[in-house]
Structure 1
Amino acid sequence: MSLTARLLLALMIFERFCVQKGIVHTEIEQFVEYLWQWPAINGPDEFNPWENSRPHLVNYGLGDEIHKEVLSNLEAKGVSEQSFRDIVSGVVEILWGNFWGAPDDDGSFRMLRQVVEAAKVDPLPSITPFKFSRFLDNSGWGQRPTVSDYTFWKACRGYA
């Protein structure tokens, strides 16, 4: 699977985790919607404004502290901050760990695995929608999805 497919699969797992645990916060909504924009980004004219508008949870995934309101929400739902950080950082590192260097197949797969293991969601999302987005294409990023591919991927988000 391409880096883009791994990101979206990890993001779907994160969404399911939040739904299954009852974790709701505007920062989570902003994070999810922001990262779902990634497949539609086309070139530096779109990338730079997108990257510069990243929400706090992206920075949290890169090592910043969590906001107190989110932490309170996690505590109220019995979710440890460490498991939440493992999931968020795994999602974030699939992209940010590959933006400014050579695509890291093993590292990005390791981050996806970290998300799967930390989230413990059941059922896991299907990988079938992403089978044509291959790491072998476009230097690890996969072929740019068509509008219908992107629409289909978003429709597969089901929160089971």
Structure 2
Amino acid sequence: MPVDDEQPGDPIDILLVEPSPGDTRLFTESFRDGKLANCLHTVSDGESAIDFLHQRGGFADAPRPNLVLLEPNLPATGGRDVLSALKNEPALSDIPVTVLTSSDVGEDIARSHGIEADHYIQKPIEPDEFIAFVQSVEDFWLAIIEEPVADD
């Protein structure tokens, strides 16, 4: 199903929920180095992610993200809580969520902890692998907005 009136090539707002400053820096630099027009917003914990999604507090003027990249292992308010806030709120439930895992068994671990997302992507370990990862995020988004609408 197309999301809002998004068209291929339009910049999108991506919310990155990542507690590691090093990984956040790599994501940010990779988006810039990849010359992607998308806008990457970052928060480092689940509580800030939920506030961003609900546009509360310091995030009152934040855009509604088109995509959430979620590290499930967050301090205090965890990834499962962020997913629950998204999936249980009708206005937010259609935002696709990609869980970032740190190993090839990460999807199984995330699912075993009740973290059901739209997609799972293994985080690259080497900085140059982030460019390929960023491209996969963009390809994922294009697949979403180009998906045909089913007639019910």
TM bin, normalised by shorter chain, reads: under 0.3
| Higher share in helix | 1
Report the TM-score, using the length of structure 1 for normalisation.
0.27
| Higher share in strand | 2
Report the TM-score, using the length of structure 2 for normalisation.
0.28
